[in-house]
Structure 1
Amino acid sequence: MKDYEIYSLGDVLLQSGQKLPQAFLAYKTYGTLNTAKSNVIVYPTWFAGQHTDNEWLIGSGKALDPDKYFIIVPNMFGNGLSSSPSNTQAPMDKGNFPLVTIYDNVRLQHRLITEKFGIKKIALVVGWSLGALQTFQWGRSYPEMVERIAPFGGTAKTRPHAQVVFESLIAALQADANWKRGFYTNQPTAGLAAMGRAYAPWGFSQAYYLEQLYQEEGYMTLKAYLEDYWDKVFLSFDANDLIAMLRTGINGDISANPQDNRNFEKALNCITAQALVMSGSTDLFFPPEDNTYEVKHMPNAVYRPIESKWGHCFGIGQNEQDSLEIDNQLKQFLQLV
């Protein structure tokens, strides 16, 4: 049984000029919307993540407490639940699926939140990785609506190095003979395994591997960790869906819109919400210096680095110390306004 709901958007004209037919958003809510509709938190998903992957940060007594807040988790386009290559009707399915940008994702999430729930104010938007990019975009696109943003483990613009890494993941997957330009009859499992291997050195830090911290997750050797975890991590996903999300990430830039015309600093300066920006000290995808630059150009932002050996994956709830620190930072932040 599905534990989420669907919001139909109809035919959607995307930022690229292409049309996404009969688009829809999958989402899940936690908690109860109060009468004033003032207790709203929006928590977008990330690359290869679905709403259930965000639940580590939601719970009674936590910063994202459903006893206090109405938390909406919209699934990113391409993740297999919202409109994706694997569930879109022909001819825009499979390898023909159009580029859905971060701007598109947030604009359509805004439709869900305003049309479905009649919400006019959001207490907090929070997200990790590509969810962080969506969080920045919310602050830029709807400054009058969003009171606070808390992006962590992600940036407001995908820098060239991260773009190259994302492209390498796509190349690893597409090297599978079964890829067939996205019109495969069987999933390219060898390519999916290769994508996992290619992701492994970027998801975690050098210290994580040197100190064999993967043993805390039950893998006694590096060989077992790579074969039993990374070679299988993407096998539950459709290959085209993964590529659709990576392309969204490659094109991530909150200033890529008609208002800012790719003036990145201008876009950052337009984020007037109170902002808490957290980065992992050893994140190789989105290094701390990217966030420190962004915070300098945001009028109401503070920067809080998280010391962690878990690299980019400090923000997925697997390491208790990192999880507690993120939760504590959010608790303090929610008391600001």
Structure 2
Amino acid sequence: MPIPNDHEIFELGDVVLQRGATLRNAKLAYKTYGTLNADKSNAVVYPTWYSGRHTDNEWLIGTDKALNPDELFIIVPNMLGNGLSSSPSNTPPPYDRARFPHVTFYDQVECQHKLVTEHFGISTLSLVTGWSMGAGQTYQWAVSHPEMVQRAAPFCGSSVTSPHNQVFLESITAALRADAAFAEGWYRDDAWPEKGLRAFARVYAGWGFSQAFYWQEEWRRLGASSLEDFLVDFWEGFWLDGRDPNNLLAMAWTWFHGDVGQTPGFDGDTVAALNSIRCPVLSMPAEKDLYFPPEDEQWASQHIGRGEVRVIPGVWGHFAGGGDVPEDTAFIDRGLRDLLAMAP
């Protein structure tokens, strides 16, 4: 799939990141769907996910969906690190490639907040929602800007990255770094670490879908003719499709260190951060997600005053939130419809 070029760029200027580095002349790529109404009350923020681009979010947007562009103004900001916004692959020296600074979820949301408030003049968000790392940003929005967020719907993601999830991230990034061509992140265009990316894909394949998904050969629904065909075409094909290894490592660092308790003012107290959320939060984890299990969201929800958990049933694991399964998409869409119908 070609890298999209139908987005706009918001010039962030010099961004002082939470860990101390300054990302100079930073850029936030975004796309909008729908029209902002006169009182600017119909805005939705729908952030991207790990390696995802704004076009990868479009499956949940449509006139037949809760995210209806005829009624809502949907802003899809691309995460810093995804290759469209400021990233290792497009930042000039000295912070290029392996020297790209560490970006937290807090940093991501502060950049998005600047876009929403300064560029669009929006002071209220009807909804923030997102899948996977998009869910992490959703929680961060609700903690960082409770005065703005009226509703939040994280799906297949969490407010804090669990130790087991961190083990998963260590496994995929270790596979990528093991390729000699990776050269500590200073690989050349003519010596791309393809072996590392293929190993990365093979490790990821064991986590993205559940054991039952493989037992029932659900990969056939994605057009694969055999297990090996699925591993090569779906998994290796996905990560080899313009995904820069340094970008993947930068986003993995953000994910690994995800924790709303690290928001300034909470001193690492995740429970206190969750307690501060004012809006209704509908979390939709997948029943068999191997790295964002429902138990994590049930734990978080008990600390949110207006928290609710609805578990997406089925065997598709984390990819229940990826838009590939009509019944899972319908479940998520119903949840968003119900939440949008609630008083903020």
- Mapped contact 1:187–1:238 kept (Cα < 8 A): no
Runs (4+) of structure 1 exceeding 3 A deviation are none
Question: Secondary structure at 1:8's aligned position in 2?
Answer: strand
**From 171, 176, 198, the counterpart of 2:203:** 198
Q: Alpha-carbon deviation of 1:257?
A: 2.5
Identical counterparts, % of pairs: 51
Instruction: Output the amino acid matched with 2:314.
Output: S
Instruction: Output the amino acid matched with 2:246.
Output: N
Q: Does 1:99 align with 2:105?
A: no
Q: Partner of 1:211 in structure 2?
A: 216
Q: Partner of 2:123 in structure 1?
A: 120
- Mapped contact 2:33–2:69 kept (Cα < 8 A): yes
Q: Once the two structures are superposed, what CA deviation does each residue of 1:248-304 show, in whole Å capped at 9, x if it has no partner?
A: 000100111331011011000001111111110000010000000000000011111
Q: Partner of 1:330 in structure 2?
A: 336
Worse-superposed segment, 219-228 or 127-136:
219-228
- Mapped contact 1:43–1:125 kept (Cα < 8 A): yes
Q: Does 1:273 align with 2:276?
A: no
Q: Does 1:179 align with 2:179?
A: no
Worse-superposed segment, 299-308 or 144-153:
299-308
**From 218, 223, 226, the counterpart of 2:231:** 226
Q: Does 1:17 align with 2:20?
A: yes
- Mapped contact 2:152–2:281 kept (Cα < 8 A): yes
Q: Once the two structures are superposed, what CA deviation does each residue of 1:121-176 show, in whole Å capped at 9, x if it has no partner?
A: 00000001000000000000000111000000000000011011111111000111
Q: Partner of 1:251 in structure 2?
A: 257
Paired residues for 1:65-84 under 5 Å = 65-84=68-87
Q: Alpha-carbon deviation of 1:61?
A: 1.9
Q: Partner of 2:321 in structure 1?
A: 315
- Mapped contact 1:143–1:272 kept (Cα < 8 A): yes
Q: Take 1:243 and 1:203, find their aligned partners in 2: how far apart are those partners?
A: 17
Q: Take 1:260 and 1:187, find their aligned partners in 2: how far apart are those partners?
A: 42
- Mapped contact 2:275–2:305 kept (Cα < 8 A): yes
Instruction: Output the amino acid matched with 1:28.
Output: K
**From 154, 167, 171, the counterpart of 1:168:** 171
Q: Does 1:141 align with 2:147?
A: no
Q: Alpha-carbon deviation of 1:221?
A: 1.1
Q: Alpha-carbon deviation of 1:35?
A: 0.3
- Mapped contact 1:187–1:239 kept (Cα < 8 A): no
Q: Partner of 2:296 in structure 1?
A: 290
Q: Does 1:53 align with 2:56?
A: yes
Name structure 2 gaps, 5 residues minimum: none
Q: Alpha-carbon deviation of 1:224?
A: 1.1
Instruction: Output the amino acid matched with 1:189.
Output: E
Instruction: Output the amino acid matched with 1:277.
Output: S
Q: Alpha-carbon deviation of 1:332?
A: 1.3
Q: Take 1:311 and 1:258, find their aligned partners in 2: how far apart are those partners?
A: 33
Q: Take 2:328 and 2:237, find their aligned partners in 1: how far apart are those partners?
A: 25
Q: Alpha-carbon deviation of 1:228?
A: 2.0
Q: Take 1:255 and 1:8, find their aligned partners in 2: how far apart are those partners?
A: 28
Q: Once the two structures are superposed, what CA deviation does each residue of 1:174-200 show, in whole Å capped at 9, x if it has no partner?
A: 111101110110321110111110100
Instruction: Output the amino acid matched with 1:89.
Output: P
Q: Take 2:275 and 2:142, find their aligned partners in 1: how far apart are those partners?
A: 10
- Mapped contact 2:144–2:263 kept (Cα < 8 A): no
Q: Once the two structures are superposed, what CA deviation does each residue of 1:284-326 show, in whole Å capped at 9, x if it has no partner?
A: 0100000000000000111111102100010010011100111
TM-score (structure 1 length as normaliser): 0.99
Q: Once the two structures are superposed, what CA deviation does each residue of 1:80-121 show, in whole Å capped at 9, x if it has no partner?
A: 000000000101000000111000000110000000000000
Q: Take 1:16 and 1:27, find their aligned partners in 2: how far apart are those partners?
A: 24
Q: Partner of 2:135 in structure 1?
A: 132
- Cα root mean square deviation, aligned: 0.8
Q: Alpha-carbon deviation of 1:231?
A: 2.0
Q: Take 2:339 and 2:114, find their aligned partners in 1: how far apart are those partners?
A: 27
